[in-house]
A and B are shown apart, each in its own frame.
Chain A
Amino acid sequence: MREVLFISIVCFFMLSCSGEYLDIKGMVIESHVVPGSRGYGFRDVAEVRYEIEGKIDTITIMHTGTKLDTGDSVLFSLDLKNPKESKLKQVVYRYDGSEAYIPLDTSKEKLSQYHAIDKQPLFEGVTNYVDNDSVVQGFLKEELRSIQKTIPNRIGLYLIIDKDGKATLGKVYDSDVATEKNLRKVIDRMPLFEPGEHKGKKVKVSYLVEIN
């Protein structure tokens, strides 16, 4: 009986100590180098802002293990039971655009690259894919201008075009929050593309568009 009780207590203790983690993206809003424990060495501490279930929150990561700067985009493991134990996983994108880390996740939904397939998707009125760039850019620019007065000088965005030709917005570069929000609206009501094909089958395609 004692043994059972002892094992139960140990199991309970171990379970209560094990963290539940959630991988979250965030942005560094402040970082410092501070003396390590008992005055030995140094450690990097960062304040990270992140969004969880639609709410903005911040967390202090006590030992990032690498130098971070304000504005760096990071991926960290949030310890739900003990947030102080949350750990940095990796830098995703440096604030100055000097480094970008592209995780190779083969488990996610299959996506084809626009230039690596047999037949590129075609936008409304386009018969040759080389004309997509100017026509799609023109459409997005015009629609965006009808919503907001000024637009950034150069926006890079990935359109994800599914097997039915419906476009959605992927990653966006060199934009601001308001423009990105308006871009989503514009793309949501964009006419359908003629879907892309590879090896005789319709495929979901990622297509880089530039607005300048």
Chain B
Amino acid sequence: MLRVDPDGMLDEYNFNVDTGEFDWISDKGGDERQYVNVVNNEGDLLGEGSVQGSEVYAYRLRESVVLTNFDAEFDDRSYNRENGYQYSSGDFQLRNEYRKTDNVFGRFIDKAEGAGKAVPISLREHEMKYGYLTSRLMMMGTAIESGLMLADPLGKPFSVGGSRYFSRTVGVSGSQGAKALTNANTGWNSFLKANTGKYSGAGWQRRAAADYYKSSFYKK
């Protein structure tokens, strides 16, 4: 949910968690700060917060509402439509961090959210949901699954070396296998070949991936 304040006039909002509506209520804050009051249908105030700048985005998480002054490209109405898992604030913070880097985990998160099957991202959430041992086994499985499911659009080895969290464990022992599997992903490569020159500029992979999943090249 977004509100932009280009002229310094739209500054204090009520965000209704029951309806998801975002109402402007006053012009306090100028274009320097955006205030958001979180309310329910009864008019009760559940919390308040603010971000700096002229834009504000609000997203509903499990036990909180998060405000950002940047577009987190997160659809809080559909990311968990299939399995009902709600992100905690820890999940959301890590999610944004992974998505800033071009690595396989960021793409895995995109894919999971796109399919409405969000998964725990923060280790703490994972442990709470599945227990210590199971969570680690599942994370290993997820890492392998990520390698199987997601191809690097440029056909290069996975760029997990850039990840601050998984660089050693995956980068050292898993990248060769992942590279081989990348080349085996003929659907994505065929799609790129068929659309040569269509995608360019920042974020082209994401746009291409979105089209790919809708295309006949993509087989579930």
Interface residues, chain A, with chain B CB atoms under 8 Å away: 33, 36, 39-42, 65-67, 87, 89-91, 93, 96-106, 110-113, 115-117, 133, 154, 156, 158, 171, 173-174, 198, 206, 208-210, 212
Compute how far the CA of A97 lies from the CA of B50 in the bound complex, rounded to whole angstroms: 8
- Say yes or no: A98 contacts B124, CB within 8 Å: no
Contact for B90 among A90, A93, A212, CB less than 8 A: A90
Q: Do A103 and B48 contact each other (CB < 8 Å), given the known contacts A40-B168, A65-B122?
A: no
Nearest CB of chain A from residue B5's CB, rounded to whole Å: 14
| A to B CB contacts below 8 Å, 29 in the list | A33-B164, A39-B168, A40-B169, A41-B167, A65-B90, A66-B90, A66-B122, A67-B97, A87-B124, A91-B93, A93-B49, A97-B50, A98-B70, A99-B51, A102-B65, A102-B66, A104-B47, A104-B64, A105-B46, A111-B44, A113-B44, A115-B14, A116-B14, A117-B43, A156-B33, A158-B48, A173-B33, A206-B45, A208-B48
Would you give the shortest CB distance from A35 to chain B, in whole angstroms? Answer: 9
Contact indicator B26/A154 (Cβ below 8 Å): no
- Closest residue to B93 on the A side, CB-wise? A66
Known pairs A41-B167, A101-B66. 20 more at Cβ < 8 A?
A42-B164, A42-B165, A42-B167, A65-B123, A66-B97, A67-B164, A89-B90, A97-B52, A99-B68, A99-B93, A101-B49, A112-B45, A116-B45, A117-B43, A156-B29, A198-B43, A206-B37, A208-B37, A210-B28, A210-B29
Please judge, given known A-B contacts A97-B69, A100-B50, A208-B35, whether A41 and B45 are in contact too, CB under 8 Å.
no
Q: What is the count of residue pairs linking A and B with beta-carbon distances less than 8 angstroms? A: 138
Inter-chain contact B67/A99, CB cutoff 8 Å: yes
Please encode chain B, from 59 to 83, with 1 for each CB lying within 8 Å of some chain A CB and 0 for all others.
0000111111110000000000000
Q: B17–A100 contact, CB under 8 A?
A: no
What are the 4 tightest A-B residue pairs by CB atom distance, in nearest-first order? A97-B52, A116-B43, A100-B49, A102-B47
How far, in angstroms, from A151 to B48 measured CA to CA in the complex? 24
